[in-house]
Structure 1
Amino acid sequence: MKNVLIVSGHPELNTSIANQTILSEVAQALPEAEIRRLDTLYPDYKFDIAAEQAALLKADVIVFQFPFSWYSMPGLMKLWLDQVFLHGFSHGSKGKLGGKKLILSFTTGAPVAAYQKDGVMKHTIDDYIPQFETTATLCGLDFQEPIYTNGISYTARNDEATINAQRELAKDHAARLIANIKAVAA
């Protein structure tokens, strides 16, 4: 299998049910994959740019794992992107990431019904994807079909049955992500 890098952008992964479960399942199924938890590596949000760029250069497949936050990635991951994906490294005439596969893997708190033209958000999830696809295009990354799961809200964790249901949704998400990683890394 090719080198797989998973960048976890959850700002407080220890409080997560879904993202924590997804990463645990992936780590078990793909022990050779490198998982970089931004929240534990950089609790002060001061990134080691050289280390992050080295991890990206080594990877053939890059996965961004995060909870959908304000219709994008969380602030921690956005700051990481701003500081690590520099001109001359990630893009531009001397960009070094071209040809690597990029997989978005994320969860949303709101249910799928909210992400409909006639739903609360007035947009589908697909309407929010172009910004990520444009970033991939700029960097020469091969953008893969995103993997996401709706309806995993931290505000809905008020009983054990709900928590278990979220874990099961996360395990299903992880299985889809693992299959996708294996397919693109073959």
Structure 2
Amino acid sequence: MKNVLIVSGHTDLNNSFANKLILEMLKEKLPNAVQTLLDSEYPDYQFDVAAEQQKLIDADVIVLQFPFFWYGAPSLMRKWMEDVFVHGFSHGATGTKLHGKKLVLSFTSGAPEEMYQEGGLQTYPIEAFLPPFKQFANLCGMEWAGHIYTGALSYISKSDEQRTEMRSRAIAHADSVVETVNAL
């Protein structure tokens, strides 16, 4: 059985609708996975680097779960990456601790998916924003195992009908993550 680590980089998970639900569903459907909720464990952005590195070492599959903020990962997840994935641990001549581990991105956006296409409001397809993550995996010797993306999951107050639709989309997103992880 593979060891799965799910790292939530949402900066305020308590006020999230979709990401909170996705993580709840992942906890239910992948009960043996370790979940790290960065916002509640490290509200001051001061990470226990040794503990976080050990979680990564123990994992076979690493899932980064986050809302897509300003075309990338939120500040909390970026800071976690900067502090934890250091030369000599994750990369460099002696930084081989993550070699062969599989990296899966699981992210959401408030903007509908159709906005992320050539000629759309965001100008580019969502895949155009992924090369830094792919290179991150490459530099660390991890295997890029793909991404799961769902748009139109805004936290902004919605009608009951819209919230029901968002709930269905968030559950479908979690199901896709589970399917991806189980296929690895």
TM-score by length of 1: 0.96
Q: Secondary structure at the match of 2:119?
A: coil
CA deviation after TM superposition for structure 1 residue 158, in Å: 2.6
The equivalent of 1:171 in structure 2 is 171
Contact 2:110 2:154 in 1 (8 A): yes
Which residue in 1 is equivalent to 2:154? 153
Identity %: 49
Q: What secondary structure, in the 3-state scheme, does the structure 2 residue paired with 1:89 have? A: coil
How many matched pairs? 183
Residue 19 of structure 2 is aligned to residue 19 of structure 1: yes
Q: 1:25-56 deviations in whole A, cap 9, x for unaligned?
A: 11101110000000000011111101100100
Task: Quote the residue 1:139 is aligned against.
Answer: 140
3-state SS of paired residue (2:122): coil
Compute the displacement of 1:89 (Å).
Answer: 0.5
Question: Does residue 102 in structure 1 map to residue 103 in structure 2?
Answer: yes
What secondary structure does 2:105 align onto? strand
What is residue 116 of structure 2 aligned with on the other side? 115
TM-score, normalised to structure 2, is 0.97
Q: SS in structure 2 opposite 1:40? A: helix
Aligned with 1:39: secondary structure?
A: helix
Q: Give the secondary-structure state (helix, strand or coil) at the position aligned to 1:145.
A: strand
Gaps of 5+ in 2: none
> For the aligned residues, what is the CA RMSD?
0.8
Runs of 4+ in structure 1 deviating by more than 4 angstroms, as ranges, are none
| Deviation (angstroms), 1:167 | 1.0
Whole-angstrom distance in 1 between the partners of 2:8 and 2:101: 18
SS in 2 for 1:102: strand
Query: Which residue is 1:127 aligned to?
Result: 128
- Rounded to whole Å, the distance in 1 between the matches of 2:114 and 2:25 is 27
Unaligned runs of 5+ in 1: none
SS of alignment partner, residue 93 of structure 1: coil
Q: Does 1:3 align with 2:6?
A: no
TM superposition shift of 1:153: 1.3
Distance 1:147 1:158 in 2: 24
